[in-house]
Each structure stands twice: as structure tokens, then as C-alpha cells.
Structure 1
Amino acid sequence: MSNMERKRQVNETEAPTDTLRRVVNILLSLAGFILVFRFVFLLFGANPDNGFVSIIYRITEPFVVLFNGIFAESDMGNGVFEPATIIVLVILLIVSWLIQSLFAKRTVRRQ
């Protein structure tokens, strides 16, 4: 086998950061999913005494409270349009993009 042929035969393995990238992606996606639930529940006036709705509100409150008051909330019939949740979702999207860029899939090549 010539030197040129040896260089073409390369074993590719996943970089160690791929697992971390996947875990971060799953966690941030889950957080975004829960925040969307909060937004929809508030928008349509979901019953806060319902167990599931109450859990969603309690889980997301620490994230949203930081951004309350930037824009005024709007009453919409029985529901409320909460801009703070949208702000948190946008920030979460930006953070997710930055983290994914840092841990972009890189292939480690070994001979």
C-alpha cells in the first residue's frame, strides 16, 4: 500500500464534545418547550389551579421574573399576553445558537 493510499484510509470518530452538545441541545429544547406551554396557557387563560398548569408556571417563573416589566402585559379577554416569556424564548434561542456554535460537530481524524 502506498503512502497516498494510507492517507486516504481514515478512521472517523465523534469528538468528545458531541455528547455535551447533544445534552445541552436537549436541555435547552426542553426549556423552550416548557416556556411555550407557559405562553399559551397565559394567552388562553388556563386555570392556574390545575396541577399541570401550576407546575409549568412554577418551573418557568424564575426565568420570566427577570424580564417582567420591560414591556407591559396586555389583557386579552380571559388570557394575558406576557412579553417577558417571548423575551426569554428569544434569549434562550440566542444562547442555544451560541452554545451550538461553540460545540459545533467536529470530526476527529486518526490514522
Structure 2
Amino acid sequence: MPDSAHDPERREHIEVEKGPTGERAEAYTVDVAAERRALIWKITGVLWLILGVIEAFIGIRVILKLLGANPANPFAQFVYSISRIFVAPFFGLFGEPAAGRSVLEITSLVAMVVYVLVFFGIDRLIWLLLYRTTDRSVRTYRRR
């Protein structure tokens, strides 16, 4: 186990309390890497939240197209304009089977899969580059 005085990943702190029944000291070591892991969790959480929003817009787009929604409707226009940004790189990749006003946008489904894979890769890369393993120990003694 590395000495906390020489390990930049660990900080030791000692608190001493004097009371009527004696002296109590508590020494604890702060694991800086654990703080980093908490930050990584927050970063990747935000990443997955962003992916969830993107997937929701694309998913709603697929449903609206499949049900033959009126493209002149303000809600449909809003969803189509936002989701178009994320689906545009995949336009023309596959044909779009249609029956009447219903359209199955296979490119949107492909986009959803690709975005999940990309975000998963980014998540794993962040963990791979920033993750450190250490621990925390607490030592308490009472002197009377």
C-alpha cells in the first residue's frame, strides 16, 4: 500500500478532539481518485442524457413518419427539424418503404443504433483514460 504522504492520489487528515472523558483522534485518508470517479460518473451521465434526448427525437420522428403524421403540423415540424440534424448523415443510405402516408425510415433506425454505439465508445474511452483504482481507510483511536 503506498504511503499517503508520497502519493498524490491520497491525502491524510487527522482530527483531534479533547473532551472531559479524554482525547479522541481520527485519522482518515481521502481518496482523490474516488473524487475523480465521481466526476467521471457525472460526465458520462450527462453524455447518456444527451444521447437519450437525441434518441427520443429520432424515435418520435420514426413514429410520426410511420403513422403518417401531417408534416404541416407545428409539433411534427419541430420534431422533424430537430431530428433532421442527427439523421441527415444517413439520408440515402437505404430506401424508405411507404404505404400511403406511412413511411418506415430505416435510416432513422440505423442512426439510432449508430449513435448508441458511438456514445458507448465515448463512454468507455472516458473511463479507460480517466479511471484510477485506490481505496480509503479510516483509523480511530481514543486516549483517556
TM-score of the pair, normalised by structure 2 = 0.62
**Is 2:119 the partner of 1:96?**
yes
User: Are 2:135 and 1:109 aligned?
Assistant: yes
Structure 2 CA distance for aligned equivalents of residues 81 and 28 of structure 1: 22
Aligned residue identity for 1:49: A
1:81 aligns with 2:104: yes
Query: Does 2:64 correspond to 1:49?
Result: no
Percent pairwise identity: 27
Q: Residue 71 of structure 1 aligns to a residue in which SS?
A: coil
Give 1:94 deviation, angstroms.
0.2
**Matched pairs, number:** 103
TM-score by length of 1: 0.78
| More contact order relative to length (CA 8 Å, sep ≥ 6) | 1
| CA pair 50-108 structure 1, distance change in 2 beyond 3 A | farther
Q: Could you tell me which runs of 5 or more consecutive residues in structure 2 were left unpaired when the two chains were aligned.
A: 1-27, 138-144
Residue identity matched to 2:55: G
**Match of residue 18 from structure 1:** 41
CA–CA distance in structure 1, aligned partners of residues 29 and 136 of structure 2: 6
Say if 1:11 and 1:46 are closer, same or farther in 2 by CA, change over 3 A. Answer: same
Q: CA offset at residue 29 of structure 1?
A: 0.9
Question: Larger Rg: 1 or 2?
Answer: 2
| 8 Å contact kept, 2:54–2:86 | no
* Alignment counterpart, residue 58 of structure 1, candidates 81, 84, 89: 81
Q: CA deviation at 1:27?
A: 0.4
